[in-house]
Homo-oligomer: A and B are copies of this chain.
Amino acid sequence: MVGSVALDTVETPHGSVRDALGGSAVYFSVAARLLSPVSLVGVVGNDFPKEHLDMLTQLGIDTKGLQVKNGKTFRWWGRYSEDMNDRETVEVELNVFGDFQPEIPKEYTGAEFVFLANGSPVTQATVLDQIGAPKFTVADTMDLWIKTTREELLELMARLDALILNDSEVRLLTGKTNTIAAARDVLKMGPRMVIVKKGEHGAFLMSDDDLFSIPAFPCELVYDPTGAGDSFAGGMMGCLAKENSASRESLRRGLAYGTVMASFGVEQFGPARFLDLTVEDVDRRLSEFRGMLSF
């Protein structure tokens, strides 16, 4: 997986943290590693606390691809509204992430399950250039890239197995408000499938031969939704890698694991909830979740 490693300042009605470990690569990896070995490619500055690096290693995350550059680590500062439904980005300091050139260590060039976290589609494409023939490639994106680098994003999409994005992004990308109709349009743009994340409303996957819909795991207290989308992706890709399959059944289970991972993630600030989480905890909640959905 390739993505950002950040120091996040997060303000919510429940409290706040300053310069805490964050970033898409972190949220993805702490979830994925519960199901499968995970190798992280990213960049930090030389101000990045050694304790964070040690923690990632202790969790079994391979950080061989994490470059340490002279300069400051990427910083993000977000503030949630009183009802947690809106988020304002107060400040972004790209720092060393600003001209991040992913370098895929030789050991990873045969990777079979590749996740490109949200980033410039040009940068995302350079990752694929360095990797052989993955079995399953997924990329995330965001409004910024849809608006400013649409052509590059469309070129990337043709090289993907799946595009993952949220409901407002799929509307922006296609100009359609009905998310099902919008997803149908995305399939015509290149990727074999599209996964639409709807936050508290769940997610769905659409491909030429499947339409799978899953509600969110009900969370009564959301402490910090930061990174939920990346934990979701981590759970999904972890499941696929573990099963060494991207079959219809594995993908559906992947979305279910992703849903459960995201529900854990929001229960505490930052990635804290994942630090002592076990695969037994995850499987217990997955089983509870399955029980909530059957009729």
Contacts and interface: CB of A to CB of B under 8 A. Distances in A.
Contact of A198 (B85, B201, B295): B201
Copies in the complex: 2
A89 interface: no
A218 B211 contact: yes
Contacts of A211: 218, 292
Interface centre among A84, A201, A204, A249 (most CB of B within 10 A): A201
Interface string A219-232: 11110000000000
Contacts of A83: 177
B292 A222 contact: no
Where chain A touches its partner, the secondary structure class is: mixed
Contacts of A293: 212-214, 293
Nearest to A249: B295
Nearest to A286: B295
A220 B184 contact: yes
Interface residues of A, number: 35
A219 B180 contact: yes
Contacts of A200: 179
A148 interface: no
A195 to B, nearest CB: 14
Contacts of A290: 295
A197 interface: no
A84 B177 contact: yes
B220 A253 contact: no
A179 to B, nearest CB: 8
Nearest to A219: B180
A90 B161 CA distance: 47
Contact of A201 (B202, B218, B221): B202
A255 B212 CA distance: 18
A252 interface: yes
Given A256-B295, A293-B293, A295-B252, A181 B221 contact: yes
Given A201-B198, A201-B202, A215-B202, A253 B295 contact: yes
A58 interface: no
A85 B253 CA distance: 31
Nearest to A198: B201
Interface of A: 83-85, 177-181, 184, 198, 200-202, 204, 211-216, 218-222, 249, 252-253, 255-256, 290, 292-295
Given A178-B219, A180-B218, A256-B295, 7 more contacts: A83-B177, A85-B177, A211-B292, A213-B292, A213-B293, A249-B295, A290-B295
